[in-house]
Amino acid sequence: MPRPTGRVLTLLELLQSGGTRTVAELADRLAVDGRTVRRYVDQLIDLDVPVESVRGRYGGYRLAPGYRLPPLMLSDDEALAVMLGLVAGRRAGVITAGHTASETASAKIRRVLPKHIARRLDTLLESLAFTDQAGEFATPDAGVLLTIADAVHHRRPVSIRYTDRDGRRSERTLHAYGIVAHSGRWYVTGTDPEIGEDRTFRLDRITDARTLPGSFEAPVGPDPAQRVLSGFATAEYRHEVTLRIHGTVEQIRAHLPASVASLEEHAPTADKDRATERWLRVQLRAERLDWLPPLLASLDRPFVIERPDELRNLVIALAQRLASHARQA
């Protein structure tokens, strides 16, 4: 059970989050009664923290406007959570700051950790293993990220300088309506007003961004994450593949996620239950086809290859090899 001093600090953190907090709400969050909440408030006031009492039906307590918050305070559990978040985020590529910034942030927190917590953290990190390989991801510029995030929030056009995968540089205007983190990389998705089409850009390839005058309305339809995944599935690649697979949406998505393939009903029915097996048309694009025959075999569902013929030949060749191996004594 937290000590009274710990509860007083928790009360301060709740008030720092903004707004007016009722006595009943604070009592519930602190697991104490209303009289104890008032006593904790008095202790904060004794420490020159300007807590105001708000009267009325929706009254309670709040910090005085303009109060300068004290230095950041973390409990032991919070410090441990931040440290583990930095380790996992750096490995997964979801931390936008450079490696040096992440390391210095970790070092600052470690310096102020109590010795017993620091020892437990070291023991945990030494014992911790990851099943995936550590990713080396290019991180977006923090200034670019914050500028685009502000443009997304206020629905303002943004001008970006972009370098594509072939090294071609361009400057374009984007009506950005979402930032998406996917598989260790950061993307911004929006509408290119010059061509009137949705576009998705990798944030680490944007070298400069500045907001422009004006505003725009975000389009209705799928959210930014779904738009990014759909963009991956329909990107320009060498082969266009169309299949019909009999199964449930979940069975197919387990092998062909939304970032790889799009699904639609081959013959629309009144039954929209995702758990119902039916024929679904699967469309995807790929630079190579050699990975698809083993995937279709592992799916273990009836399927029809509509195109291309090259994929059909690869599937037949794989089936013949498997049959040949199975006949061997």
What would the pLDDT profile of 216-274 be if each residue is shown by its tens digit? 988 887 788 888 877 776 667 788 899 999 999 999 999 998 878 888 887 665 556 66
CA 111 to chain centre: 30
pLDDT at 133: 61
Flag whether pLDDT at 63 surpasses 80.
yes
pLDDT at 222: 79
What would the pLDDT profile of 125-155 be if each residue is shown by its tens digit? 777 777 666 555 667 887 888 889 889 989 9
One-letter amino acid at 113 equals: L
- What average pLDDT does the segment 205-210 reach? 92
pTM above 0.85?
Answer: no
Residue burial 287-321, b: 16+ Cβ < 10 Å; e: rest: eebeebbeebeebeeebebeeeeebeebbeebeee
| Structure tokens, 11 | 């009360």
**Across 86-90, 116-120, 171-175, least confident range:** 86-90
- What average pLDDT does the segment 33-48 reach? 90
Q: What residues contact 303, with CB distance under 8 A and at least 6 apart?
A: 243, 244, 245, 246, 296
- What average pLDDT does the segment 156-179 reach? 90
pLDDT at 301: 93
pLDDT at 115: 80
- Whether the CB-CB separation of 21 and 62 falls below 8 Å is answered with yes
What would the pLDDT profile of 197-206 be if each residue is shown by its tens digit? 888 898 889 9
Strand ranges inside the chain, DSSP E? 51-54, 60-63, 158-163, 169-182, 185-192, 197-202, 206-211, 239-247, 261-265, 278-286, 303-307
Which of the 8 DSSP states describes residue 21?
B
One-letter amino acid at 243 equals: L
Give the three-state DSSP class for 172: strand
- Whether the CB-CB separation of 157 and 147 falls below 8 Å is answered with no
User: What is the distance between the terminal CA atoms of the chain, rounded to a whole angstrom?
Assistant: 67
pLDDT at 267: 64
One-letter amino acid at 315 equals: V
Which of the 8 DSSP states describes residue 222?
S
Q: Starting at the earlier edge strand, list the strands of the sheet with 158-163.
A: 197-202, 185-192, 169-182, 158-163, 206-211
What would the pLDDT profile of 94-132 be if each residue is shown by its tens digit? 565 555 566 777 777 777 777 877 887 888 777 777 766
Flag whether pLDDT at 58 surpasses 80.
no
Which of the 8 DSSP states describes residue 67?
P
The percent helix, strand, coil of the chain (3-state, each to 5) is 40, 25, 35
Alpha-carbon distance of 192 to 171, in angstroms, equals 11
One-letter amino acid at 108 equals: K
122-127 long-range contacts (CB < 8 A, ≥24 apart) are 124/84, 125/87
320-325 long-range contacts (CB < 8 A, ≥24 apart) are 322/297
- Whether the CB-CB separation of 171 and 111 falls below 8 Å is answered with no
Whole-number average pLDDT of the chain: 83
- Whether the CB-CB separation of 207 and 147 falls below 8 Å is answered with no
Q: Identify the burial level of 284 via C-beta atoms within 10 angstroms of its C-beta, where 0-12 means exposed, 13-18 middle and 19 or more buried.
A: buried
pLDDT at 94: 59
